[in-house]
Structure 1
Amino acid sequence: MASAAMGDASFSSSASDCANGTKKKKNRFKRGKNCAAFDCNNTCYVVIDGKEVLSKITMFSVPKKVLKDPKLINRWCTLIKRRHNCDGFRMNTNTVICEKHFREADVARKSNHGLTLQKPRLKEGAEPVLHEWNKPKPRRASPKKRASPKKRCIVQTTQARKDMESTLNETSPSTMEAAMEPTPATQMCETSIETPTVSEQTNLSPVSVQTRSTFVSVGTQTSVDEAPVHMSDHDYTFGINDSHCIESLNEYISMLEAKLQNCTQECRKLKKIVQDLSDEVTEFERKSFSIFSLKDDDAAVRFYTGMPNFTSFMALFEYLEPKAMKLQYWRGTGNGSNNKAYQRPGRRKPGPIRKCNLLDEFFLVMVRLKVGLFTKDLAIRFGISESTVSRVFTTWINFLSHEIPLLFPTPSQARVRHFMPPQFKYPTTRIILDCTEIFVQVPSAMKAQSETWSNYKHHNTWKVLVGVSPNGQVTFVSELWGGRVTDKKLL
C-alpha cells in the first residue's frame, strides 16, 4: 500500500509538471552524420557556445556508381581505411565522406553555366585520396654550414731564432741550476713574445722567451718582409743536445729500418706469388677452348666458326650483343612468354650471373653449326650440362634467324648490275639458284627417317635452296626441307 501510494504521488507530480509545462529536458545535441574516413572527426553540426550550428564542411554521399560495383566499394573502403561488412561498418547510401578527403579538382562547385551550386557535388571518377597519413611530410631543414677555420700564418724569424739558440747554448750550467729554483718567474708556463705591428716592424723588437731553465731577453732587428715570430710554449721545440735522446732516436731509427727491410722482403714474395698466379691464368686461358684462345690463328677461327678472322667474329657479336642481353631462353614448346619484366628498357635479368657468358654462348653456337660437335663434347669443353647446351643452342638459333637476315637483305637488280664482274658473260643475270644438302643424324622416328633420306647422298640430310649473286655473295637461303624432296619441288 505504501509503495502504491508513493507511485501515485510520483505520477501525480509528473502529471502536474506536464500540466504546468515545466518538464525537464536533457541538453542533447544532434551531431548529424559523421565522416566515414578513419581518424576523421568532421560532422554535419558543430556546437558553438552551447548552440548547434551547421558546419561549413561539405559532406558527400558515396556515388551510386560506386555502390553498384563491389570492386569500387572495396577500393573506396581501402582508401578510407575501412572494411566493408566488418567491425560494424557497411558502405551504403547513408555513408558520407567530408570534402577534406577529395581533391579540389574533383569537386564541382559551379554548374556548366558558371553559376555557383548551392550544394557542391563530386565529379565523375572522384576518389577520397587525401588523408592525414598520406600527406607529404615537410622536409627537414639542412644543417647550417659551419664557418671554415681561419688559416694561421706562422712564419719564423730566422735571425731571431739563431740569436735565441746561441744565447741558450752559452748559458752556464750553474746559471741553469739556479734558474731551476722555484721563483715567480719560473712558474710561468707559456712563452711570451712581443710582436711588432706593421708600422713598428722597422724598429727594434724585444723577444722574451720563458723556459724551464732560464728567462732570456733577446733583441733582434726585423725587416718589413719578416713576419712576427710565433713560438711554441713547450721546451721540446728548442734544439737539445742530449746524448740519451740521441741514442733513443738511433734505436728507433734502427727498428724502423729493420721493419722496412722485412716489409720489403714480404712485398717481393707477394709480387712473386702474384706473377706466378698471373702466369697460371694466362696458361689456363691459352689452353681453354674459347674464341680468345684462337684470336691469333685465322685458320683456326675459320675452321671452328666459319668466320674469316677474329675481327669479323667480334664485329658480328657486337651487333648482336645489345639484343642478346634480353634473350628469353627456350624452355620447351608452349613455355615461352613475350612480356618478361627484364626485357623492358632499363631492366636487367634477375638471379646469379650465368657461368657461360654471351660471347661463349655465341662461340658455342657457331662451333656447333660449323663443326657439328655433339652436345656432350660441347658440355665438356665449356664446363656446362648437356641440357644447357641444348637450351642455349635452340635459343640462339631462333634469335639468329630473326637478326641475321637484316644484315644481308636481297640486293636490288640495279645493285646487282652495279657490282657485276666484267668477266661474267650473262649481264642480265640477277641470281643463281642451286640446291645443297646438309648431313644430319638418323632420326629415331621412322617417318622422319623416310622424309630425310636422300637417294642422291645415300644419307639422311636436310635440303635447302641457295641463291647466289653474280659476284659470289649468298643472297637467299630457303627453309630446310627433308632430303627426300626434289629440286623441282623447292623451286
Structure 2
Amino acid sequence: MSGKSYRFQRTISSTAEHCCVPLCAASSKYNSALSFHTFPKDFETRRKWISAIRRDHFAVSPHTRVCSRHFTSEDVREPLSATARRLLRKGAVPALFEWNNFSLPLSRQAGVMERRERKERPVEEQDTSCEEAAGVTHDHDYAAAPGPLVDLALDENKARRSEIDQLRKQVQTLNLKQRFGIHRFAGSDRDIRFFTRFGSYDLLIRFWTQIEPAVPSMIRVTQAQRGNFTEPTFPACDLADRYGVHQSTVSRIITTWSNFLYTVLGSVRIWIPEEKIRENLPTEFKDYADTTVILDCTELRCQCPTSPLLQSEVYSAYKSNCTLKGLLGVAPHGAVTFISPLYAGSISDKQITRESGILSLLKPGMAIMVDRGFLVDDFVPCKIYRPAFLSGRSQMSASEVRETQAIARVRVHVERLIRRVKEHKFFETEIPLRLFGNINQLYSVACLLTNYENGPLVKSWSKKPE
C-alpha cells in the first residue's frame, strides 16, 4: 500500500469516515481509493491494534476506523466486484505508519538466491585515467582533519549542552521548593513546629518510627464510607491547595489518621505508677514529693445549639459561652497521664471529677494537686494539695501565702500543657455541633500527641544538675 499515491478529491457520500491513526488525515469524504475498517471483535487482535496505533487514553467506539493505507498488501483482500467491499485478512494488524515511513522490511522468500553487492576496489587500484582525461580534479580531501569551523561548532554544542544541564537543575530545584512536603522544612524546627506541632524534625521522625509498624493495618476511609464519619473543621481548602488534591480527599485523610492515631496511641497505658513518678520527680516538687498527678479542667468553645434546653446544658458561666469541658491529669514531670471525656460546659469541677473515672486510679498513699475550685475533699481517697483561699477572712496568713505561691509555681505547667493542646488548629475556632459524634476521639488524640511533640514544659527542668 505504501507505493500508491492518493489524490484528495471530494467524493459524493452521505457519511464520512476518518482514520484514527495519529498523523493520518485520511477521510472517506476526500478519498474513494481507501477503505476504512472497524476494530476487530476478538479481544487479543483488538489489543494488538490499539498497541500498534500508539494513542494515549484511547477509547474505541463502534465508529472508530483505521484506513487501508496502514495495512500491507498481504493483509488486504481486494473485492471481487465493483460493488463489493475491501476486507482484511483474519488476524491482520496495522503496521504501516508515519513513524516507520509507511514501509516494512521485505522478507526474502525461501529458495530465492540473495543478491550481494559487489565490493568496490580500493582507491589505489581504481583506474583514474578517465578522470584525468576528462580533466576532473579533486578539490577537497575528505580524509583530512576537520577545520576550525567544525571545532567551533563542537565547542558551541558543548556549551549549549552545559547550559541545558544547568537549566534542568534549576527546574528541579524550583520544583523541589514548590513541592509542599515535610522534607522541605527538615532544616527549620520553627517551620516543623508550625506545620506539625512537633518541637523538632528529630522528634517527628522518632514518633514516626514508633507508629510506622502499625501503618499497614490502618483502615482507610473511602468515598463510600465517608457518610459514616464526621468531617473535622480545619482549613481544608488551604491543605487541598498546598497538596493539589480535592477538599474531600483532605477530609478523608484527616479522618483516617485520627482513627488510626486514636487506636494506636490509645492502646498505650499513660497512667504512670508511683515509683516511676518518684524516679523522675523534678527538684521543684521536693516539698510535694508524694504528688502523683496534677488535675485541672479545660473548656473548648462550641457552637450554640438552637434548642434552649441544650443551650442551658452547654453554657458555661465561667466562660460566658457555650463550651465542652474536660478533665486533664499531668504527672509532675509534665507527661499527660489522664484524659477524661468531654462533658457539657455547665458541669462543675466536682461533678466531672466524680464521673471521669480518675477516682479508680487514686490510692490513699498518693497525693493530687488541684486548683481552688476543686472542692473534692469529701470523696477523694488521697491527700490534696490546693492553694488556700480566704473563706470569709479578710486576709491570709504569711504561711498560707507562701504555700499558695509555691503550689502555683509547680502547677503552672499543667496550664502550659492545656495551652499546647489548644494550639492545635482544630481548636482555634468553635466546634460545630455536627462534630459532637467524634469530638472525644479528636480531643484525645490532640492530648496524647503532646507527650510526643515537645520537650519539657519548664525549660529549667531540662537542665542537668551540676
Q: Which of these two proteins has the greater Rg computed from alpha carbons?
A: 1
What TM-score do the two structures reach when normalised by structure 2?
Answer: 0.39
Superposition TM-score, scaled by structure 1 size: 0.37
